[in-house]
Chain A
Amino acid sequence: MTREGPLLETLTRRLTETPPEFLADTTETLAVVNDLLRMQGATSVSPLLDVLVGDGSPDAQNRGKLARVFAWLFADGWFVSARIDVLPAILSASAELAPLVAANKAVASADRREELARLALSKLDLRPQGESEALAKDRLVALSTAERARVLAASRAAEERARKIREELARKAAQEAADKASRE
C-alpha cells in the first residue's frame, strides 16, 4: 500500500453499480476478464487466465463471479489510464474470497463492497486516495473476511489444543508424574 490510488468512494459506488450480467451464472468469466485486459492494452490472451476455467463446483462458480466483479471494478477509468497489470490482483483476490463470501452478497453489502475495494487496491500495493498507509491497512484488516476467518480458525484450533491438553493432563493425573527432586 505504498502508493496512492483512486478515491475509495469512487470504487464502492462503482461496485453498487455492478451490472447484473456480471453476477449471472451464465456469464463467461474468461471473456469478461480478457475484455478488460484488452481495454488496458493487452494484445494477446494471458496464459494465467487458465486458472479461471472452473470445474463447475460452487466454489469455482463463486470465484468466477468474484473475478468478474473485480474485472468490473478495475474497468474504472483510474486503473485503465494507469495501465497497471491487474490480472494477478484479480486472480489472487478472487481466490482469497471465493471460499469465504458469495459474490452476490459481497456486492450487496456496504461493508463487503468496501472490503472488495480495499482488497483490490491492496493487491496492487495501492491505498485509497487521502489515506495513510497505516489507516488503510487497519481498515482492511478490520473489514477482512479472510482475516475474520483466520482469527476464527485460529481460535478454534487454540480451543481444540487446550481441550487436548486438559484431557492429557487428566489422563496423566491418573498416573504418577515424573521424578522431581523437590517433591514434597
Chain B
Amino acid sequence: MSRADPTDEERYPLLSDVGRRMLQHLREHASAPIFRNQSGNRLTAADLERVVAFEQETKDAWPRWREGEEPEWIASFVAHALEAVPHYQGYGREPGSALTTLPTISRADLSLDIARFVPDDVAIDRLIHFTTSGTTGHPLMVASHPTVAASYLALHKKALRHFGVELRAGAGEVGVVLVGFQHRTFTYVSVTPQMGESGLAKINLVLDDWNEPSDRER
C-alpha cells in the first residue's frame, strides 16, 4: 500500500459492520480470485440520498418527448452548463440558448484540459478520477463524482426490470458480480449502500487471476 492509498473510511464513508463483514467475506473467501485492485463507493449520506432519489425518479420515468422534440431536462441542463462549466461559460451565450445552437466538442477538447469541464459548483475534494480504456484513442482522464458512478445501478436495474429481472439482494448477500474474461482488467470487491451494503465483485476469468483454476466454478 502506498502513501497515496485511501483508507477504508475514504473508500466507504458509510461502511457499517454489515458492510465490513461482507468485504471480509469476499476478500477472504476460500475460492476468491486474486483481486488486483481496490475500489470503494465513496458515497456520503448526502450522496446516498441523491442516488436513492435518482433511482426512484428513473424507476418511474419514461421518455415523454416525441420525435423532433427535446426532452424536458435538456433546457435546464444546457442552462446550468452555460452558467457553471468554464468551457461553456467561454461561449458567452445566454443561459436560455438552445442545445442545437451550441458548437459540438471533441475528445481533443476533453484531453486538452478536463478541469474546464468540471462545474464550478462541484466540491473539488469530492472529485474522483477515471481513465478510459483507450479503445478509441489515447486513454483519457475523466473527472467524475461518486454519485455518477453509483447512479449507473439505477439504469441497470431499470434495464433488467424491462426484461423481468428484479435485483433483490440486500444485507449479507452478494448483489452484483461483474464478470470479465480479459487479458488484464481491473478487479476488486466493494459494497453497495443503496442495496443494504450487499456485496459487489468485479472478477476476471482469465487463469492468471486465480489461485486454482477450479475456483472459477465455485
Complex partner residue of A177 from B5, B133, B144, CB under 8 angstroms? B144
Chain B interface, number of residues (Cβ within 8 angstroms): 45
Q: Does the CB pair A183–B129 fall under 8 Å?
A: no
Q: Does the CB pair A162–B86 fall under 8 Å?
A: yes
Stretch at the interface among A39-47, A74-82, A122-130, A168-176: A168-176
Residues of A close to B144: CB separation below 8 A: 177-178
Q: Does the CB pair B40–A179 fall under 8 Å?
A: yes
Bound: A179/B195 CA distance, A: 14
A168 touching B152 in the complex, CB below 8 Å, given contacts A175-B5, A184-B185? no
Complex partner residue of B146 from A173, A178, A181, CB under 8 angstroms? A178
Q: Does the CB pair B115–A172 fall under 8 Å?
A: no
Interface residues of A in 104-121 (CB under 8 A from B): none
Q: Does the CB pair B152–A173 fall under 8 Å?
A: no
Q: Does the CB pair A165–B188 fall under 8 Å?
A: no
A144-184 Cβ-contact flags toward B at 8 Å (1 or 0): 00000000000000100111111011011111111111111
* Interfacial residues, chain A to chain B (CB-CB below 8 A): 158, 161-166, 168-169, 171-184
Q: Does the CB pair A176–B38 fall under 8 Å?
A: yes
Of the candidates A161, A171, A172, the one having the most CB atoms from chain B within 10 angstroms of its own CB is A172
Q: Does the CB pair B114–A178 fall under 8 Å?
A: no
Q: Sample 15 A-B pairs with CB under 8 A, ordered by A number.
A: A162-B116, A165-B114, A166-B113, A166-B115, A169-B127, A169-B129, A172-B127, A176-B37, A176-B188, A177-B144, A178-B42, A179-B40, A180-B130, A181-B153, A184-B133
Q: Does the CB pair A174–B150 fall under 8 Å?
A: no
Q: Does the CB pair B186–A183 fall under 8 Å?
A: yes
Q: Does the CB pair B186–A184 fall under 8 Å?
A: yes
Bound: A180/B129 CA distance, A: 11
Bound: A162/B90 CA distance, A: 14
Q: Does the CB pair B4–A175 fall under 8 Å?
A: yes
Complex partner residue of A179 from B86, B129, B200, CB under 8 angstroms? B200
Residues of B close to A172: CB separation below 8 A: 127-129
Taking the closest CB of chain A, its distance from the CB of B206, in whole angstroms, is 14
Closest to B130 in A: A177
